[in-house]
Structure 1
Amino acid sequence: MNYGLDSHFGNVVYHSVDLLHTIPGIPTAALLAAEKELVRAAEVVIASSQGVKQHLDSLGAPDVVLWENVASVELFSGTKNDRLRRAIFAGNLTPTKVQAELLLDLAESGVKVALAGPINIDGTPLSGALSSVLNHPFVDYLGNLELAELAVEFSKSKVGLIPYHINEYTAGVFPMKVYEYLASGLSVVSTPLPSLKERQISGLHLADNKEAFIEKVLHELGIFTEEQAEVRTLDASDHSWTRRTEEAERLLTGLLGPHKPERGNI
């Protein structure tokens, strides 16, 4: 909802990054009605994932531009440290998004796991499984870190984790951590999020079930080399905020100039 702000500007760009209407407790009908009006008012509509794009298509948005999430690759690729034989997850530690049981099983298998991010930021009570994860002897909770601190912890790790549930909300998620992990040289192991299943990303490994997830993490920890890490870092370099800023500048220049760009050609 934009409270009518679009009426005060000559051009409107709508950049949607989540399927907010799927979150429990959200007034779904009101949000979708407002979003449909925003789509109708916008000269350009942008989606952060294929799932969000499909949703915007269903609202009648023509030629939705796909801008998948990128990373501060210069920061993450430029931070170097001796690596530990550990996996790391960084993000909102909420049970509505993160499979705490999967992290617990991973720790139980003998994998050292570092966790970083807020707990209960969305008001969701701490689950028993997540509490068990945080208290596990193989788990190191690092707290809520600044980006530079996160880059340091990634540079000390070998595998980046994306242990998300597969549900209505995550159908629209393209995790920002994908390219942050890869820019740090990490191998990435994820549950099969729809936005990732449709992409061929070097260094990203999808696991369909708990056993496959744990097996893949153990495998990637065992074969990790700095030479492979450098390749992953190089491959991630095109997915930077620097490049995205350039794309945004071209978009705005087109909108503010004498000739507006055609939708979908930005």
Structure 2
Amino acid sequence: MNILVLQETDWIKRGPHQQHHLMDRMALKGHKIRVIDYDYLWKEDKDKEIITGRKEINGAYKIFKEADITLIRPGMIKVPILDVASIFYFHKKEIKKQIKEFNPDVIIAFGILNAYIGMQQAKKHNIPFVYYLIDHLHTLLPGELKRKTAEQFEKWTIKGADKVFVINQGLRDYAMEMGGNSNKISVVPAGVDLEKFNPQVDGSLIREKYGVKKDDILLFFMGWIYEFSGMKEVAESISTTKNEHFKLMVVGEGDLFKPLLKMKTEKKLDGKLILTGKIPFEEVPEHIAAADVCLLPAYKNEIMMNIVPIKVYEYMAVGKPVIATNLPGIQKEFGLNNGINYIEDSADTLEKATWLYKSHKVEDEGEKAYSYVHNLSWDKITVQFENLLSNC
């Protein structure tokens, strides 16, 4: 199949997310993949060029070097407001170009505006269109007006799509609330690479590198450090606890990275708060393996209500117990007694971790976690995904 993928984040800098895992594997299976993305992080670039031209990047793999994926980044106007508005012109132009030249068998969209444009063009040219939801997309935007406008586009696209794929039951419910037809909605869940993420991965060198002793209790978080990630509260708990064995490792970048660096200095948390920054994906398994307990202590906000991040599956596949806020999406996905230990609030994280240790439940909860995910391989999910696309 020729598959055209549309998204509104940076394909290279962000992730790997659901689409990266699936598209790399689809490319390895012989499908031709082209991705149209959006330079969402342009404000961080040193290049201050206001109007940028079209770029095409070959070999835009995320997981496997052998995955032959072509990335196209349409031109844009790098000025606030105009950057988003320029999607209507530049992305529409590129989508029409790809339909003519690439002749896609299916168009799969993960964004908002270019998804809506893609849906319209797909209908015009009688191409199957799949809308793949991995987030409450409109809730990620700042400002009430932007969120309301994006929500409407999202509703139109959900209603107009030939198929809607979601990664969990919570997002299936969300898609139906947004006007989706239940007969067109399929759950294609997140998975895990069990060759890379498993209980046999050795994290001892990572512990040694960062001075984490054998009797220390290392709490672990990875991913984009949103303000609602709960990391501020966990770091504050680490700074006030009388138990000197608790340490927190945060892998990744994001909104809270600089505030956490400041807290580390001001509260003299050197050695207790470990901030690695972003690391290569290949190094993620051994960092998880270095941990004793993994974390998802996010705030209970609209953004997180039905989200199940891929990292939770990766935590569990390495045999680590997880402490997570009792979000509806997480509870629907994992239920009870499967290695997820629920808390009401991010500030409760250290108390729950202490309970796990005093109750001698860390190893047992880690085994439960692995048992839950050990059949959720990306290879199996890719086959499911491929079959669903073939029937569009």
What range describes the TM-score normalised by the shorter chain of this pair? 0.7 to 0.9
> Are the equivalent residues in 2 in contact too, given 1:69–1:176 (CA < 8 A)?
yes
Opposite residue 252 of structure 1, the aligned amino acid is L
Cα pair distance change 1:117/1:237, threshold 3 Å: same
> Are the equivalent residues in 1 in contact too, given 2:340–2:369 (CA < 8 A)?
no
CA RMSD of aligned residues (A): 2.7
Secondary structure in 1 aligned to 2:201? coil
1:142 aligns with 2:276: yes
Report deviation, 1:163: 1.7
Report deviation, 1:29: 3.0
Whole-angstrom distance in 1 between the partners of 2:203 and 2:116: 47
Whole-angstrom distance in 2 between the partners of 1:133 and 1:181: 25
Report deviation, 1:106: 3.7
Secondary structure in 1 aligned to 2:322? strand
Opposite residue 208 of structure 1, the aligned amino acid is E
Whole-angstrom distance in 2 between the partners of 1:163 and 1:45: 29
> Are the equivalent residues in 1 in contact too, given 2:323–2:342 (CA < 8 A)?
yes
246-255 or 93-102, larger mean C-alpha shift: 93-102
Structure with bigger RCO (C-alpha 8 Å, 6+ apart)? 1
> Are the equivalent residues in 1 in contact too, given 2:197–2:317 (CA < 8 A)?
yes
By percentage of residues, which structure has more strand? 2
Residue-by-residue CA offset, 1:153-178 (whole Å, 9 max, x unaligned): 11111100112111111113212221
Opposite residue 44 of structure 1, the aligned amino acid is K
Report deviation, 1:99: 4.3
> Are the equivalent residues in 1 in contact too, given 2:116–2:157 (CA < 8 A)?
no
TM-score by length of 1: 0.82
2:152 to 13, 28, 33: 33
Cα pair distance change 1:31/1:13, threshold 3 Å: same
> Are the equivalent residues in 1 in contact too, given 2:158–2:164 (CA < 8 A)?
yes
Report deviation, 1:45: 0.8
Aligned to 2:174: 55
Opposite residue 312 of structure 2, the aligned amino acid is V
2:372 to 230, 235, 240: 235
Opposite residue 196 of structure 2, the aligned amino acid is L
Whole-angstrom distance in 1 between the partners of 2:258 and 2:171: 28
Whole-angstrom distance in 2 between the partners of 1:210 and 1:28: 25
> Are the equivalent residues in 1 in contact too, given 2:188–2:385 (CA < 8 A)?
no
Secondary structure in 2 aligned to 1:251? helix
Highest CA radius of gyration, 1 or 2?
2
Secondary structure in 1 aligned to 2:152? helix
Whole-angstrom distance in 1 between the partners of 2:300 and 2:132: 23
1:189 to 320, 323, 337: 323
Secondary structure in 2 aligned to 1:171? coil
Cα pair distance change 1:230/1:172, threshold 3 Å: closer
Aligned to 1:131: 262
User: Which blocks of at least 5 consecutive residues in structure 2 are unaligned?
Assistant: 1-112, 208-213
Aligned to 1:258: none
TM-score by length of 2: 0.57
Report deviation, 1:232: 3.3
Report deviation, 1:229: 4.0
Aligned length: 251
Cα pair distance change 1:74/1:144, threshold 3 Å: same
> Are the equivalent residues in 2 in contact too, given 1:182–1:236 (CA < 8 A)?
yes
